[in-house]
């Protein structure tokens, strides 16, 4: 009679069981050299068993985490088990992985035994959540785009290597591509360029698709995109900044060394971040546009009365502290009403736009020109050290404005009456300074226009209609 078959399965070796684990089981000697690794080690770190046995564990650890890892190893060998230690390793292919270790020291065997669990995806998800929150907070903060991009750069650098990082944006006015934020270890920021220029960045913006360039796929690029502009990078990764209305720009990271490589996973990560960045840029632009609209004249794009009052008050305060002088020119176009009545409001608007342009080009970049309403303009001249400076600028404006204007094929001619006032001589406060400049302008107009006048040209007791009321 045959013996009864046992219902107990044949024993499985411990090594086989460990090799079935997805986690990595490692045994390291007192000097930190690998004595044993399970099959899970290759699944996580990319190295075969024969490639690591006898090598130092610390050499596979990310350089930034080595000192902390060595301290943890000393604690383990001192008898303090580490059930939840986390650090980063560098995979055989170069990408970084996050690992959580459960480790203890065997005094009897003189070895450290550790089980490593790959938590890269979990850490990436946590980092992404933190990054998106940080970008969202930055987007809602009242900061300019340069400050916003600097913050975004720091956030992105926490997700992937981003030592070389730049933002390209399309200018809403003319469609050109500009580089408002550009950090690169070799090249300066390029100037504005046409979207048709054969660059990788333009290819991303035009196509609306991410682009990863490595030495492996460079030969497959169209010939015009293989032209190197600036310092040649090893890896180049660009993703579009897309909003509901289309692509507004691109985010780019690049590497000049083989020690930093980019992968499709990095592309997906940067694409995910770019959605938040694009929304942040659009929100910032909308906020800036609204602020601009509040303080600027919609026809000439010059500061309006509201913004000019703020600038004048700030300039007077600064001038008082530094014991400096200011010049104020108050201008009114002679003959504007006749042009408006004869040729229509469209021609009148065009005349005001061209007059604003001429006035702006007669003063320094640091000076302020504003439209107060109708055909009245003012110019605030900062840091006037020469008593004749304001007069020279006013005469330059007068001569510029008396030149003929071409309005959609019609030639018209107007002149300007300009009143001049100085701070602090003609007024210690905003209202009195404007009062004297305005009165001087009306004195010039009463004398026939197309001339300059100052406080001394105004008869005592005579005031403009505006201030007399």
Give the other-Cβ count within 10 Å of 466's Cβ: 12
Ordered structural domains, the chain, with CATH: 16-118 (3.30.450.20), 123-294 (3.30.450.40), 305-468 (3.30.70.270)
Per DSSP, helices labelled H in 103-256 are: 120-140, 145-157, 200-207
Sign of CA dihedral 303, 306, 307, 308: positive
Contact assessment for residue 101 and residue 116, using Cβ atoms and an 8 Å cutoff: yes
Q: How far apart are CA 363 and CA 220, in angstroms?
A: 53
C-alpha to C-alpha distance for 291 and 178, rounded to whole angstroms: 22
- The side-by-side arrangement of strands in the sheet containing 415-423 is 368-373, 376-381, 326-334, 415-423, 451-454
Two tokens at 436? 């004297």
Q: Tokens 């040209």 belong to which residue?
A: 457
Nearest to 393 by CA among 418, 415, 374, 428: 418
- Which residue(s) pair with 170 in the sheet? 177
Instruction: Pick the closest to residue 444 from 384, 398, 400 (CA basis).
Output: 398
Encode the chain (469 residues) as per-residue pLDDT tens digits: 555 544 555 566 777 788 888 899 999 999 999 999 999 999 999 999 999 999 999 999 999 999 999 999 999 999 999 899 999 999 998 888 999 999 999 999 999 999 999 999 888 888 777 877 777 777 667 667 788 888 889 888 888 889 999 999 999 888 899 999 999 999 999 999 999 998 999 999 999 999 999 888 887 778 777 666 778 889 999 999 999 889 999 999 999 988 788 988 889 888 888 888 888 888 877 777 787 788 899 899 999 999 999 999 999 988 887 778 899 999 999 999 999 899 999 999 999 999 999 999 999 999 999 999 999 999 999 988 787 899 999 999 999 999 999 998 899 999 999 999 999 888 888 999 999 999 999 999 999 999 999 887 777 655 444 433 2
Q: Which residue, 27, 61, 14, 21, is CA-closest to 40?
A: 21
Which residue has 């070389």 as its token pair? 164
Tell me how far CA of residue 276 lies from CA of 90, 270, 283, in angstroms.
29, 10, 10
Q: Which of 83, 86, 36 is nearest to 62 (CA)?
A: 86
Q: What tokens appear for 305 in the block?
A: 């009365």
């Amino acid at each position: 009679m045959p013996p009864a078959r046992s219902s107990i399965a044949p024993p499985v070796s411990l090594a086989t069981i460990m090799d079935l684990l997805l986690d990595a089981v490692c045994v390291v000697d007192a000097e930190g050299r690998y004595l044993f690794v399970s099959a899970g080690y290759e699944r996580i770190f990319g190295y075969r068993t024969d490639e690591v046995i006898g090598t130092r564990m610390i050499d596979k650890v990310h350089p930034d985490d080595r000192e902390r890892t060595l301290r943890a190893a000393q604690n383990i060998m001192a008898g303090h088990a580490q059930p939840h230690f986390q650090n980063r390793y560098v995979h055989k292919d170069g990408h970084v992985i996050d690992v959580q270790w459960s480790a203890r020291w065997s005094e009897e065997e003189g070895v450290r035994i550790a089980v490593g669990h790959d938590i890269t995806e979990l850490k990436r998800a946590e980092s992404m959540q933190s990054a998106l929150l940080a970008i969202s907070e930055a987007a809602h903060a009242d900061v300019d785009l340069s400050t916003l991009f600097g913050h975004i750069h720091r956030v992105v650098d926490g997700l992937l290597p981003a030592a070389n990082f730049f933002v390209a944006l399309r200018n809403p006015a003319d469609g050109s591509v500009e580089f408002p934020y550009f950090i690169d270890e070799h090249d300066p920021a390029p100037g504005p360029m046409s979207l048709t220029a054969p660059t990788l960045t333009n290819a991303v913006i035009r196509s609306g698709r991410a682009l990863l360039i490595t030495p492996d796929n460079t030969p497959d690029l169209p010939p015009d995109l293989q032209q190197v502009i600036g310092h040649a990078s090893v890896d180049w990764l660009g993703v579009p900044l897309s909003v509901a209305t289309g692509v507004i720009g691109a985010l780019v990271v690049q590497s000049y060394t083989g020690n930093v490589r980019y992968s499709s996973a990095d592309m997906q990560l940067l694409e995910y971040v770019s959605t938040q960045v694009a929304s942040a840029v659009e929100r910032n632009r909308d906020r800036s546009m609204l602020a601009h609209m509040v303080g600027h004249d919609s026809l000439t794009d010059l500061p309006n009365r509201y913004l000019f009052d703020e600038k004048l008050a700030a300039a007077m305060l600064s001038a008082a502290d530094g014991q400096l002088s200011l010049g104020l020119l108050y201008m009114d176009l002679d003959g504007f009403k006749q042009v408006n009545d004869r040729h229509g409001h469209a021609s009148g608007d065009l005349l005001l736009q061209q007059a604003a342009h001429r006035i702006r080009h007669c003063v320094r970049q640091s000076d302020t020109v504003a439209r107060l309403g109708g055909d009245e303009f003012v110019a605030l001249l900062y840091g006037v050290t020469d008593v004749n400076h304001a007069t020279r600028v006013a005469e330059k404006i007068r001569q510029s404005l008396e030149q003929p204007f071409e309005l959609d094929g019609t030639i018209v001619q107007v002149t300007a009456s300009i009143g001049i006032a100085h701070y602090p001589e003609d007024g210690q406060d905003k209202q009195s300074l404007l009062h004297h400049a305005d009165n001087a302008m009306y004195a010039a107009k009463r004398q026939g226009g197309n001339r300059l006048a100052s406080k001394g040209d105004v008869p005592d007791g005579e005031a403009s209609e505006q201030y007399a009321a």
